[in-house]
Amino acid sequence: MKNIDSKSHVRGESVYLDDIPLIHGTLFACVYDSPVAHGKLLNIDTSQAEISEGVVKVITAKDLFGENQIGGIIPDEPLLAYDEVHFQGMPIAIVLATSEDLARKAARKITAEIEPLEIITDPRVAAAKGELIVPPKKFKMGDADKAFATCEHVFEGRADINGQEHLYIETQGAYAVPTENGGIKIYSSTQGPTAVQRAVCKVTGWPMHQIEVDVQRLGGGFGGKEDQANAWAAICAVGTQLTRRPVKYALHRMEDMRMTGKRHPYSADYKIGLNKDLKIISYEAVFYQNAGAACDLSPAVLERTLFHCTNSYFVPNVTATAYSCRTNLPPNTAFRGFGGPQGMFVIESAIAHAAEKLGMSASEIQAKNLLENGDEFPYGQRTESEAITSWKQADAKYDFARLQREADEFNAASRYFKKGVALMPVCFGISFTKTPMNQARSLVHVYTDGSVAVSTGAVEMGQGVNTKIAQVAAKIFGLPMEKVRLHTTNTLRIANTSPTAASAAADLNGQATQMACETIRHRLFEVAKDLVEAETVRDLSLEGGFVHRRGERTSLDWQTLVMDAHLKRVNLSEHSHYATPGINFDWTTAKGHPFAYHVYGTAIVGVTVDCLRGRYEIDYVKCCHDFGSSMNTSVDNGQIEGGIVQGIGWMTMEEVVYDAAGKLRSNALSTYKVPDIYSVPKEIAILPLATDRENLAIFNSKAVGEPPLMYGIGAYFAIRNAVKEFKSSPPYEGGVAAASADGVVLSFDAPFTPEKVLMNLYKT
């Protein structure tokens, strides 16, 4: 079944923030942001901006009625800088003008006197200076130290992983409209309507019931709008509070890239110990997370790095320590995988390191250490593992040995082009690791004409959550999809929402919808029972728009039943609440059962590297993926394809570059390369894992939003394998002699851009 938005997307009729008709008198905001990464803010001169054409107001920190604070986890992030600036791009002043152009023109006339302070961009430097966002976090199982002494092989190294720009097609933005009695309605491009509402309340000083946040859909979020949509909504709200006029701000691409945070770069040290049978006996990792200048969601992201630091492997002795390091970069934030991918990259590096030293394929070590059913994760939860099953089913379907042999044969015959193959198993936990966030609500109305309206806390951002929720309602009422309509995500209809994140939106909001629909259906059955002379409601079902009695269609159709129920004064609406059962986590012991379930999968990735130019192509990504039992294969396959391409982009061509002064050099699409149609894998094959295990997902259809991104990590190691092939084959005539491939000759440093590939090919 197609995504319900596909037609309006293709026709350009889908409504995004920028498509909302503007109200007469709307003002446009633009921010003056810090030109330096760290300094004392001595003076702000807004005088020239104030007399600039079309300007209605210039706002600085001193004009705010409420608190100058938008920090979620820790209150460490002023909306507008007042005494210090902490990163380049930090908002200092807001200009409101009668047009977008005039607002931008005026903002450029603002100047600030800033006394420079020391700039830190490296998380290890920050850690050494004690610049931590929160105290370090630790996971411990067994005794890693002791266990290393018993290991046959021990390897130590370092892995560096860069950030990633979200590059949602729709940039950040908001539109605030005054309502009566001092209220504000805010249209926001946010994954977290309630997060926006809270931030707006803080800076305006108004109570939550005065602020309505409404979200139609996003042109992509990918985590970048989980928390970081708040500032722009707060800016618009403050503008509306001070002028009582509608205020809109939609960021230009370069403003967005400069002012918003990205995926967290990490630097990590690892130590891995194996016994003679290649079982990983002990693993130690220290993670330095580059949090940027404020907390944002960094501690939660850091936690997920720990949760996924052993990926799909069982390791009996683990010590993992993680530091969230404060630097002078824009605060980094959620990004598909939420810190998990970085944790996985490090253990995959450690395994590749061991394999290279031992002169074997990493897949030999991977295969020997996959989680078995009932194995314990370092955080105490036991797994219902599909790690081995997904590996075996992928192997049976794609034949890993054959793919490797094909690459070997190609390499033997080719001097300048080399193929590399790598396997990438993935295990990803589903649920917010902060247990209280695992709740959702749904409001279902059945109207007297038989049409159904559903509102939930889920935000549609291209991932198809609205399609899945509509499917839930359609299925329970036995109606065609056209009878069900999903409405905007709105804080008046659904309050206290968790953001649409952690891949859990369909599970949480879908199950709340299921409950609401079942409640209404039960009431309808009570009415229908007499009409169709059934003995008990248990004999009744709804299918194809008709009431069925013991599986046989009756003459009572849906619409007649609904109208009859209404005339009998039966409630045709329901507001239901769902909270994931059975989950918990205790940070004092760092143990618990944080996840409703895990999603497993195994991918094999093949690449061809052009060893003269450093360029490469991704030949294929073939995976066996654990969907549980997918309720929408078209939406889910789309998530797999998109996730894989985004993961490959992060691992290969996307390079976020800040210079030592904390200035973003990759600040536009001319200097930041994301995958295009020419760089996607030539083949993506998806095999659904065959399993009949029950799980806690909606209709047994497991969450799919984030896990596939991590298959992309395989591309890094496949390229690495191709590069090693070249370096271990004889140098071509007249060329530069390549280094021999004995031992580890390459550092682990993602992304593997073509430039880095080239330098590695000829580094001696």
Interface residues with ligand MTE (CB under 6 A) are: 220-223, 336, 461-463, 465, 500-506, 639, 642, 703, 705-706
The three-point CA angle 76-285-585 to 5° equals 60
**Binding test (CB under 6 A) with ligand MOS, winner from 236, 334, 421, 623:** 334
Which CB atom, from 218 or from 604, has the smaller least distance to ligand MOS?
Answer: 218
Which CB atom, from 336 or from 622, has the smaller least distance to ligand MTE?
Answer: 336
Q: How far is the CB of 333 from ligand MOS (least distance, A)?
A: 8
Answer with the entry of ligand MOS, ligand MTE, none that 354 interacts with (C-beta below 5 to 8 A by kind).
none
Q: How far is the CB of 224 from ligand MOS (least distance, A)?
A: 8
The three-point CA angle 548-554-557 to 5° equals 90
- Dihedral pair phi/psi, residue 164, rounded to 5°: -160, 135
**Is residue 502 a contact point for ligand MOS (CB under 6 A)?**
yes
Q: How far is the CB of 697 from ligand MTE (least distance, A)?
A: 11
């193929």: which residue's tokens?
A: 419
Which CB atom, from 501 or from 684, has the smaller least distance to ligand MTE?
Answer: 501
**Is residue 483 a contact point for ligand MOS (CB under 6 A)?**
no
> CA neighbours within 13 Å on the CB side: how many for 592?
18
Run of H or E including 271: strand 266-274
Stretch that binds ligand MOS, among 94-102, 307-315, 328-336, 388-396 (CB under 6 A): 328-336
Answer with the entry of ligand MTE, ligand MOS, none that 703 interacts with (C-beta below 5 to 8 A by kind).
ligand MTE
Stretch that binds ligand MOS, among 159-167, 333-341, 537-545, 578-586 (CB under 6 A): 333-341
Q: How far is the CB of 263 from ligand MTE (least distance, A)?
A: 10
């059934």: which residue's tokens?
A: 534
Which residues of 558-701 form beta strands (DSSP E)? 573-579, 584-586, 591-593, 597-610, 616-625, 683-688
3 state SS of 709: helix
**Binding test (CB under 6 A) with ligand MOS, winner from 39, 220, 223, 649:** 223
**What binding mask, one character per residue, do residues 183-202 give for ligand MOS by CB under 6 A, x or -?**
--------x-----------
The three-point CA angle 325-331-333 to 5° equals 95
**Is residue 509 a contact point for ligand MOS (CB under 6 A)?**
no
Q: How far is the CB of 218 from ligand MOS (least distance, A)?
A: 11
Q: How far is the CB of 53 from ligand MOS (least distance, A)?
A: 40
- CA–CA separation, 18 and 688 (whole Å): 38
Omega within 30 of 0 (cis) for the link into 688: no
Which CB atom, from 164 or from 393, has the smaller least distance to ligand MTE?
Answer: 164
> CA neighbours within 13 Å on the CB side: how many for 299?
15
Answer with the entry of ligand MOS, ligand MTE, none that 64 interacts with (C-beta below 5 to 8 A by kind).
none
The full length of the chain comes to: 764
Run of H or E including 95: strand 91-97
Residue 135, burial from CB neighbour count under 10 angstroms (0-12, 13-18, 19+): exposed
Answer with the entry of ligand MOS, ligand MTE, none that 36 interacts with (C-beta below 5 to 8 A by kind).
none
- CA–CA separation, 67 and 425 (whole Å): 46
Which CB atom, from 422 or from 709, has the smaller least distance to ligand MTE?
Answer: 709
Q: How far is the CB of 501 from ligand MOS (least distance, A)?
A: 3
Q: How far is the CB of 664 from ligand MTE (least distance, A)?
A: 22
**Is residue 226 a contact point for ligand MOS (CB under 6 A)?**
yes
Which CB atom, from 78 or from 675, has the smaller least distance to ligand MTE?
Answer: 675
Stretch that binds ligand MOS, among 159-167, 331-339, 630-638, 708-716 (CB under 6 A): 331-339
**Is residue 595 a contact point for ligand MOS (CB under 6 A)?**
no
- Dihedral pair phi/psi, residue 486, rounded to 5°: -90, 135
Given a contact cutoff of 8 angstroms between Cβ atoms, the answer to whether 165 and 333 are in contact is no
Stretch that binds ligand MOS, among 82-90, 141-149, 329-337, 577-585 (CB under 6 A): 329-337
Given a contact cutoff of 8 angstroms between Cβ atoms, the answer to whether 390 and 425 are in contact is yes
**Is residue 335 a contact point for ligand MOS (CB under 6 A)?**
yes
3 state SS of 569: coil
Q: How far is the CB of 458 from ligand MTE (least distance, A)?
A: 6
Which CB atom, from 229 or from 334, has the smaller least distance to ligand MOS?
Answer: 334
3 state SS of 593: strand
**Is residue 501 a contact point for ligand MOS (CB under 6 A)?**
yes
Under DSSP, the state recorded for 400 is H
Residue type present at position 256: D
Please tell me the count of residues contacting ligand MOS according to CB under 6 A.
9
Residue type present at position 232: W
**Binding test (CB under 6 A) with ligand MOS, winner from 28, 32, 283, 338:** 338
Give residue number: closest CB to ligand MOS.
Answer: 223
Stretch that binds ligand MOS, among 198-206, 335-343, 477-485, 643-651 (CB under 6 A): 335-343
Strands 317-326 and 280-292: parallel
Q: How far is the CB of 150 from ligand MOS (least distance, A)?
A: 38
Which CB atom, from 214 or from 706, has the smaller least distance to ligand MTE?
Answer: 706
Stretch that binds ligand MOS, among 39-47, 284-292, 330-338, 357-365 (CB under 6 A): 330-338
Given a contact cutoff of 8 angstroms between Cβ atoms, the answer to whether 421 and 453 are in contact is no
Answer with the entry of ligand MTE, ligand MOS, none that 504 interacts with (C-beta below 5 to 8 A by kind).
ligand MTE
Strand order of the β-sheet with 597-610 is 417-430, 597-610, 616-625, 683-688
Q: How far is the CB of 502 from ligand MOS (least distance, A)?
A: 5
Which CB atom, from 171 or from 389, has the smaller least distance to ligand MOS?
Answer: 171
- Dihedral pair phi/psi, residue 656, rounded to 5°: -80, 125
Alpha-carbon dihedral of residues 132, 138, 144, 145, nearest 10 degrees?
40
From the candidates 706, 725, 733, 755, give the one annotated as an active-site residue.
Answer: 706
How many separate helices (H) and strands (E) can be counted in the chain?
19, 30
Under DSSP, the state recorded for 278 is -
- CA–CA separation, 531 and 528 (whole Å): 5
**Distance (Å) of CA 312 to CA 522, 639, 670:** 43, 21, 37
Which one, of 593, 624, 270, lies nearest residue 426 by Cα? 624
Which one, of 698, 573, 580, 685, lies nearest residue 640 by Cα? 685
**Is residue 336 a contact point for ligand MOS (CB under 6 A)?**
yes
Which CB atom, from 317 or from 463, has the smaller least distance to ligand MTE?
Answer: 463
Answer with the entry of ligand MOS, ligand MTE, none that 148 interacts with (C-beta below 5 to 8 A by kind).
none
Q: Is 706 a catalytic residue?
A: yes
**How many other CB atoms are there within 10 angstroms of residue 568's CB atom?**
11
Which CB atom, from 260 or from 760, has the smaller least distance to ligand MTE?
Answer: 260
Stretch that binds ligand MOS, among 334-342, 375-383, 708-716, 719-727 (CB under 6 A): 334-342
Binding site residues, ligand MOS, CB under 6 A? 191, 223, 226, 334-336, 338, 501-502
Report, as residue numbers or ranges, the catalytic residues. 706
